Amino acid sequence: MITEAFEFHTPEDVQSAVALLSEHGPEAKVLAGGHSLVPLMRLRLTTPSVIVDLNRIPQLCGITTENGSITIGAMTTHATIEHSAELKAMLPVLPAAATLIGDPMVRNRGTIGGSLVHADPAGDWPAVALALDTQLQLVGPHGERTVRADDFFVDLLTSAVEPDEILTNITIPVPTGRVGISYQKFAHPASGYAVTGVAAMVMLDDADVCIDSRIAITGAGAMAVRAAESEAMLRGTDLNGGSIDHAAEAAGSGIDFLGDIYASEEYREQLVRVYTKRSLIAALRAATSGHGAEAAKTI
Amino acid sequence: MKLTGNYTMKAPRAVVFDTLMSVDALRSCLPGVEKFEHTGDGRYETRLRAGLAGVKGEFAGTITLRDPVPPDSYTLAMEGNFSGGFVSGLGSIRLEDLGAQTRVEYSGDAQVSGPLASVGQRLMAPAAKMVVGKFFRCMEAQIESRTNAAGR
Amino acid sequence: MVTYPITMTVNGTDRTDAVEGRLLLVDYLRNVLGLTGTHVGCNTSQCGACTVLLNDQAVKSCTVFAVQASGGIVLTIEGMATDGKLHPLQQGFWEEHGLQCGFCTPGMILSSYDLLKHNPDPSEVEIRHALEGNLCRCTGYQNIVKAVQYAARNGVLSVPAEESAQTVGAQEENGVAG
Ligand SMILES: Cc1cc2nc3c(=O)[nH]c(=O)nc-3n(C[C@H](O)[C@H](O)[C@H](O)COP(=O)(O)OP(=O)(O)OC[C@H]3O[C@@H](n4cnc5c(N)ncnc54)[C@H](O)[C@@H]3O)c2cc1C
Ligand code: FES
Ligand code: FES
């Protein structure tokens, strides 16, 4: 199917893009990589009459680092993140997770910003962003605001971004010390989307005691969420004994599990346990080996 | 696509049943009703636009409420065009008496065909869940305003 | 009907047109330019049959609007052979029986070309990872992998003549690092 007709705009800076959104109201939609939006438009499940293409705004692209944090422009593609030498050195879980998204063509066009704003229940970046305590910068007609990842994912396909706002970039504090981060996903064999994906961060003190942990789960429910109960169970333990097993058991509590033709609710519940455990073990291995990060997928 | 769940309403079972069967209540609580006309035997000619977060689906077809066993159960059948594809579904709704409250258990299965089935499959169940949740919350509000009106 | 002026270089030839915003790049290539070597398989962004190179990157042309490609450089399967001589990748699909019905082949070749440009000597695992977005219903992929290996052995880096401007002209539109 072809999409409904629309007016096409290519603003060259953020201010003009925001002005276009204010002018046209809810009928206008931002176009980033188009790999979620265009398929929906082609099914006419969304029918914007105005498209504001962000692809000609250079300010929205690229990766910069300063004062121990990394800032990534919203229009930075998955492929740019996948191949970034800077990120491979500073926060290797990002390129490693990017490699697991869809396929090369999806990664060449799809953007980290689009993926976060779209808040697909099976998207990879939402889980990674939650586990890394990401800050998201939004610009709207009334100025700028910053939203923490914890407050960003609101519901199914719903993020905190208002229709007249644009996500400009995200900032991630690079965790220091003995930290390990991992993203493990069970990928849908056709699309690559996460049937279940778990991002885990563990921070150890010199005696190998866990002083902090963040666990985020995608693919299981209507939106990506943190497993706060499991995180709390890990703090103060040595992560050997049974603490990882107990935390993995509890990871799905509070999730209203999705079931579909591919994976039932019960199956997803089990996947959450298994992938939380795998992700925590990989994060622990990364923290103790000083390697920093790991990511992997299973089909 | 299978859809099961339950919703507990703060009202006795007979009231909940009557409201779930009421044309007026249905018209106000089904999402984006553009048309909802009774054509006899519990059959309604329907046109709905259900939307969430800028994603909208359009349903045009029939909804049938049949086999009512007041205040215990009924069956809901729907059939029609849904956003370039075809959907037919059957659901059974049971009301469990919890005294002042009623638990509505629903369980259904729908077949969807067309391009939506291949691409949208993944998102259909969670979207439907959301729509159903909204529907029951709205029904609960309907009951509340009805009881308030009756009490006056 | 509102139209927008677009210009782009397709297989080395400059093209100028006025198109509707909703015209997809694949439909522009096939229906306006008559370049029907780029196929439409699924029409839902999943199969990769419509893969072309846009500014040096493999993209699904059914998921990009033609207006978005304006100012860019496009390479399709028609631009691969030079002077009547098959490109080593095309030769590889021929020699190794990398196709049966051939429907997926143009997309396979363009995706493989993108891979070999960045990684001239890929392992089998890397080839399979690079072709994850290209579905084939006939071959079982085994011979497709062999075809790519054939091309890697036989000098795929002989860039098609039409495309030689590409490396220089490639836009940093999305700030992509190769
Ligand atoms: C075959 C296929 C496989 C895929 N596999 C995966 C996978 O394995 N994992 C995964 O995570 N994803 C996957 N995706 C989705 C892909 O990553 C998308 O690119 C991503 O979800 C959306 O990003 P986009 O840049 O394409 O956004 P678009 O599709 O352009 O936009 C998505 C939505 O976000 C809004 N938006 C975009 N950018 C901004 C902004 N800066 N400010 C405000 N609003 C904005 C748009 O208006 C739109 O509503 C897949 C997609 C396809 C087609
Ligand atoms: S036709 Fe473009 S991906 Fe299938
Ligand atoms: S050769 Fe027939 S689809 Fe690949």
pLDDT digits (tens, 9 = 90+) for A51-63: 999 999 999 999 9
All structural domains of chain A: 7-56 (3.30.43.10), 58-173 (3.30.465.10), 178-298 (3.30.390.50)
Residue C176 pLDDT greater than 70, yes or no: no
The rounded distance, in Å, linking the Cα atoms of C14 and C147 is 31
> Ligand 1 center to residue A106 CA distance, Å?
9
Quick one: pLDDT at residue C171? 32
CATH code: domain of residue B26: 3.30.530.20
Report yes or no: B115 at the C interface, CB cutoff 8 Å. yes
Residue type, position B83, single letter: S
Q: Is B129's CB within 8 Å of A260's CB?
A: no
Average pLDDT score over residue span A125-133: 98
Ligand nearest to the CA of A189: 1
Report yes or no: A2 at the B interface, CB cutoff 8 Å. no
Quick one: pLDDT at residue C159? 55
Looking at per-residue pLDDT, the higher value among B52 and B21 belongs to B21
All structural domains of chain C: 3-79 (3.10.20.30), 88-158 (1.10.150.120)
Quick one: pLDDT at residue B82? 87
| Number of domains present in the structure of chain B | 1
pLDDT digits (tens, 9 = 90+) for A30-46: 999 999 999 999 988 89
Residue A157's CB: how many other CB atoms inside 10 A? 24
Domain around B112: 2-151
Return the residue in B1, B52, B113, B122 with the most chain A beta carbons within 10 A, the one to mutate for interface testing: B122
Ligand nearest to the CA of A35: 1
Residues contacting A12, CB < 8 A, separation 6+: A56, A57
Residue type, position A169, single letter: N
Task: ipTM value, please give it.
Answer: 0.94
* Interface residues from chain C to A (CB-CB < 8 Å): 1-2, 4, 20-22, 24, 27, 43-46, 48, 51, 57-60, 63-65, 67-68, 111, 114-115, 130, 132-134, 172-178
What DSSP assignment string belongs to chain A?
-PPPP-EEE--SSHHHHHHHHHHHGGGEEEESS-TTHHHHHHTTS---SEEEEGGG-GGG--EEEETTEEEEETT-BHHHHHH-HHHHHH-THHHHHHHTSS-HHHHHH-BHHHHHHHT-TT-SHHHHHHHTT-EEEEEETTEEEEEEHHHHEEETTEES--TT-EEEEEEEEPP-SEEEEEEEEEE-TTT--EEEEEEEEEEE-TTS-EEEEEEEEESSSSS-EE-HHHHHHHTTS-SSTTHHHHHHHHTTTT------SSS-HHHHHHHHHHHHHHHHHHHHHHHHHT--EEEEEE-
Quick one: pLDDT at residue A83? 96
Average pLDDT score over residue span B43-71: 89
Listed range (A130-134, A216-220, A234-238, C171-175) with the worst mean pLDDT: C171-175
Quick one: pLDDT at residue A230? 98
Is residue A180 within 8 Å of A292, Cβ to Cβ?
Answer: yes
Quick one: pLDDT at residue C166? 40
Residues of B in contact with C45 (CB under 8 A): 119
pLDDT digits (tens, 9 = 90+) for C95-114: 999 999 999 999 999 999 99
